[in-house]
Every structure is written in structure tokens, then in C-alpha cells.
Amino acid sequence: MDDYSRRDFIRTSLPGFLGLTMALPAITAFATRANAFQGRVAEDAPIHWDAFLEAIAKEAARQHLDDWNEQSYVERAAAIALRLDLKSPELAQAFEDAKQGIGNKRVDFDKLEKQQDFEISFVQFEKGEQIRHHDHPGMTGVLLCATGTIDVWNYDELDEKAGEGSLLLKQTAKAELTKANVSTLTSKERNIHRLQARSLTQLVDIFAPPYNKERVQKSRWFDVDTEPYKGRDGCFEAKAS
Ligand SMILES: [Fe+2]
């Protein structure tokens, strides 16, 4: 996490940001949600922030069941994310706060929600800014592009090793996200990714389960070769830190 420890953020540093995500219990009482998701709005109608949280909470709660299927979850969560009304006041405030970060030459983070089973972050990139290769141990992720255009590369770690202290990553996805596009990852597939913005870009990221101390400690950054390993298409040698 050294890379991030040198950065400043809209509301907090990354260690502070991750620390908050570990420590806080549910910020908003589930029972107080107004406007239930199920049965009140049309299938494809936009949903406001509270209904969005309620719907994600319901899906993320299934991670405790024996039949939890991460891929099915990220597909459902992505569909919910695509219905989120980006004009919801809670999000409007995040967009407003993010203006402070424009021009600071670093990626900005803000924490929007933390519950037992998931957390939601707001991430802002300016043109050319990137987050280098990293993983999300034991977690799923759904990234909603709210504004801008950003390239996302996903990788799987292969069982095969490149050598002493070296890993092999297989690029499994490459997407150019624009407004109302999503990128997903599970604990087993596409879990490692890199992002680089083509223009000012703002993402709403949903992680389930949320970060805790163990997941933060297990998180890795990767130095990845630019050339394919032994000429193998989409295969790259990497060192983890
Ligand atoms: Fe990530």
C-alpha cells in the first residue's frame, strides 16, 4: 500500500480510508430505508440512493449462504448499479466534494457507504491518472462509471509461476468504460485489475465483502512486465508486493 500512502485524498488518506472501511459498522440503519426496492418501482426505472443501498444489501447478504455464486451476484449488482439515479442528493454531494480534488494530480477517494456485507466508494481520476495493478483478496467488485472514460484491464493469476518470486498473470478482460458502463470482478476471476483514465472520470465502486484488516493485509500490488512472457499472448510476468 506504499503507493497510496504517499497520496492525499478528498477526505482521508488511503490507510485512513481503508481503516474506516474496516472499523465502521453499518453507517445507516437498514430499517430506516425509505422507498423499498422491491415492488415499488418499475423494473427499469431509476432508483434513488437509499433504494439502491437496500437492493445491494439484499444481494450482498446472500454471500453467507451455501449457494452464493459470485458471478451471479456481480451480474445482479451491476444491473442494480445501472439503475442508480446519479442525481440522488447523496451522490450529488460526492460529486461536489470531488471538485476539491481536481487539479491535485492524484486519484481521489471518498467513502460513500459501509455495511456489514459491502462497501461503496467514490473514485475520481483526472485524464491520464491511473491505479496500477492490484488485487482484491476474497472480494467481489462492481465498478460503475458515472462520468468520463476509463480503460480497465483485468487479470487472473495463473497457478504456473514464472520463476523464483515471480508470478504469471493472464489478461482476461480489457474494457473502455464510459458513462453507465460497468466492470466486474470476483474473488476467482478478473480479481486483479489496472485502471487508467482517458478523461476526468468518476466511478462508484461496490465491494462485497467489504475490506477488513485481513483483506487489507492480503492486498497486493504488482509490478507487471510490459512484454508478454516468453511471447505468450496476454501472459505477463509479475512481482507482487
Ligand atoms: Fe481495484
When pLDDT is cut at 50, 70 and 90, the band that residue 90 belongs to is confident
pLDDT at 15: 47
Distance from Cα 141 to the centre of ligand 1, integer Å: 8
- How many domains are contained in the chain? 1
Give the CATH number for residue 208. 2.60.120.10
Distance from Cα 42 to the centre of ligand 1, integer Å: 32
Q: Measured in whole angstroms, how far is the alpha carbon of residue 129 from the centre of its chain?
A: 16
At residue 168, the 3 state secondary structure works out as: strand
Cell of residue 30, nine digits: 437498514
Distance from Cα 193 to the centre of ligand 1, integer Å: 6
Cell of residue 165, nine digits: 518470486
Over the stretch 183-239, which tens digit does the pLDDT of each residue have?
999 999 999 999 999 999 999 999 999 999 999 999 999 999 999 999 999 999 999
Distance from Cα 207 to the centre of ligand 1, integer Å: 9
129 near 198, Cβ under 8 Å? no
Residues 26 and 110: their CA atoms lie apart, in Å, by 16
Residue 29: is its pLDDT beyond 50?
Answer: no
Over the stretch 116-136, which tens digit does the pLDDT of each residue have?
999 999 999 999 999 999 999
Q: Tell me the whole-structure pTM to 2 decimals.
A: 0.84
Asked whether the bond before 210 is cis by omega within 30 degrees of 0, the reply is no
Distance from Cα 68 to the centre of ligand 1, integer Å: 22
Distance from Cα 195 to the centre of ligand 1, integer Å: 8
When pLDDT is cut at 50, 70 and 90, the band that residue 42 belongs to is low
User: Which residues form the domain of 21?
Assistant: 2-240
Count how many residues are written for the chain.
Answer: 241
